[in-house]
Amino acid sequence: MAQRTLTTESGAPVADNQNSASAGAGGPLLLQDQHLLEKLARFNRERIPERVVHARGSGAYGHFEVTDDVTEFTRAAFLDTIGKRTEVFLRFSTVADSLGGADAVRDPRGFALKFYTEEGNYDLVGNNTPVFFIKDPLKFPDFIHSQKRDPFTGRQEPDNVWDFWAHAPEATHQVTWLMGDRGIPASYRHMNGYGSHTYQWTNEAGEAFFVKYHFKTNQGVRSLSSEQAAEQVGKDANSHQTDLLQAIERGVHPSWTLYVQVMPAAEAADYRFNPFDLTKVWPHADYPLQRVGRLVLDRNPDNVFAEVEQSAFSPNNFVPGIGPSPDKMLQGRLFAYADAHRYRLGVNHTQLPVNAPRATTAENYGRDGLMATNPQGRYAKNYEPNSHQGPVQSDQPLSAPYALDGHTGNHAPVAHTKDDDFHQAGELYRLMSGDEQQRLVANIAGGLSQVTRDDVVEKNLAHFRAADPEYGRRVEEAVRELRES
């Protein structure tokens, strides 16, 4: 095969890619050396702003196959037939650290899934935990600031982390998850994924249901202790990326079984927990898991930057039959995620190959802007309605409406009969074995004992006592021992 000729970005052949043009053999370089200037200018611009959260990530392509009939609950086309397959892209991530952070750390993991459906892309943005630290997006920037590197010390500070949690009692449930045995997954393949939020499904008859997604790993859940994780980071800071890449390359394709919990919409108002509170779960005894299908990852990206870093997920990318719920955190993310991508990647990020629809074509009147690649041709109009056979609205809402009442304003959540910040955290603690409880207490005490303010320590201890008196007592004793040693 003939050797291809190296060219500039404009397509002109490059005569010399080893030596810059200069004024004589030993003279200064020339500004007219277009190839040198182009290479240096592009090099200076190879990086884009990293994600504020979920910066460190890995991803892979695969498919989702329907195994069970769920048409009773949703009219989403990609779920309408047993055996139907839909191409997907899944991005895993840590939350708090920067792009250069290590994989095997105690941190929630992002589980962001893009379904390339025939009705458009459906993005499901979740985590490897079914709950989260807060229930209102107004607190999200403050929460992330407390977990990120301190502006003065340039490192994550226990004082900041635990001070925020001391003032956010609703975080007790997620803190118990994070500090427990599942806080450091052994790999991305060996953890579950959850939609975390509550979503709405609507069937052909217009009936509405609220749902929660559970992706159960078929590899089995495996986690690392704090000591094992420290050893792993020392050996390979990219351990999760390495594991995922190598497993798929050698033909070991990780998979997850998708289950949903389904709540008829009429039951939401009187459920004993607020079903839209992201800090709480729906007990399986109330709403059992119902199997939907199987998710398989079978192809690695060819270019991590183009396909993992430039992948953009937004929870407001719904398809007919699926929509949002009144979950406040979800409502905030409907704006924040898309806005983050427009900042990082530009207004036309949806035209990038990893983000563009694959089983259908995007038809809209968006034009121009940075890096636009959809000129549409001379006869296409950029306004609607028009007389030129441009795309028109479907007149079919994606999901069912829900009734609203009351006055506008800044409202505290309406408490349901069993709503509090500690009940479910206590239940989670009591579900653990004795060994699991011991490790949980040790993990919490390891961080809390480093906090310099006694009042912050006491506020956190009060949360654990409220969840379970034994839980609080054991953490208090462990903190005291570490501080006195």
- Per residue in 186-238, pLDDT tens? 999 999 999 999 999 999 999 999 999 999 999 999 999 999 999 999 999 99
485 burial via Cβ count (<10 Å: 0-12, 13-18, 19+): exposed
- DSSP one-letter string for 58-124: EEEEEEEEE-S--TTT---GGGSSTT-EEEEEEEEEESSS-TT--SSSSS-EEEEEEEEETTEEEEE
Residue 1 confidence (pLDDT): 86
- Asked about 411 being catalytic, the answer comes back as no
DSSP 305: I
Residue 446 confidence (pLDDT): 96
> Which stretches of the chain score pLDDT less than 70?
none
Q: Would you put residue 251 in left (φ > 0), alpha (ψ -120 to 50) or beta? A: left
Closest C-alpha to 180, from 477, 437, 452: 437
Could you give the CA distance from residue 56 to residue 238 in angstroms, rounded to a whole number?
10
Out of 35, 63, 121, 127, the active site residue is: 127
Count the Cβ atoms, other than its own, within 10 Å of residue 383: 9
Q: Is the peptide bond before 385 cis (omega within 30 degrees of 0)?
A: yes
Q: Is 249 strand, coil or helix?
A: helix
| Helix and strand element counts for the chain (H, E) | 12, 10
* Global model pTM greater than 0.85: yes
Residue 206 confidence (pLDDT): 95
- Alpha helices by DSSP H, 320-450: 328-345, 423-431, 434-448
454-467 and 434-448 helices cross at what angle (nearest 10)? 160
Instruction: Name 110's bridge partners.
Output: 93, 127
- Asked about 238 being catalytic, the answer comes back as no
- Phi, psi dihedral angles at 175 (to 5 degrees): -60, -40
Q: Is 293 strand, coil or helix?
A: strand
**Residue 331: both structure tokens together:** 């409502």
Residue 415 confidence (pLDDT): 87
**Residue 46: both structure tokens together:** 């190879």
Contacts of 244 (CB under 8 A, 6+ apart): 58, 60, 92, 187, 188, 189, 254, 297, 300
Closest C-alpha to 334, from 259, 382, 398: 398
CA angle 353, 354, 355 (to 5 degrees): 90
Which residue's entry shows tokens 């749902």? 211
- Phi, psi dihedral angles at 263 (to 5 degrees): -120, 120
CA angle 17, 21, 22 (to 5 degrees): 150
Q: Is 412 strand, coil or helix?
A: coil
Could you give the CA distance from residue 43 to residue 265 in angstroms, rounded to a whole number?
53
Residue 257 confidence (pLDDT): 98
CB 261 within 8 A of CB 211: yes
**Residue 108: both structure tokens together:** 């929630």
Out of 35, 54, 173, 240, the active site residue is: 54
Which residue's entry shows tokens 């462990």? 478
Instruction: Name 202's bridge partners.
Output: 208
Which residue's entry shows tokens 């006592």? 465
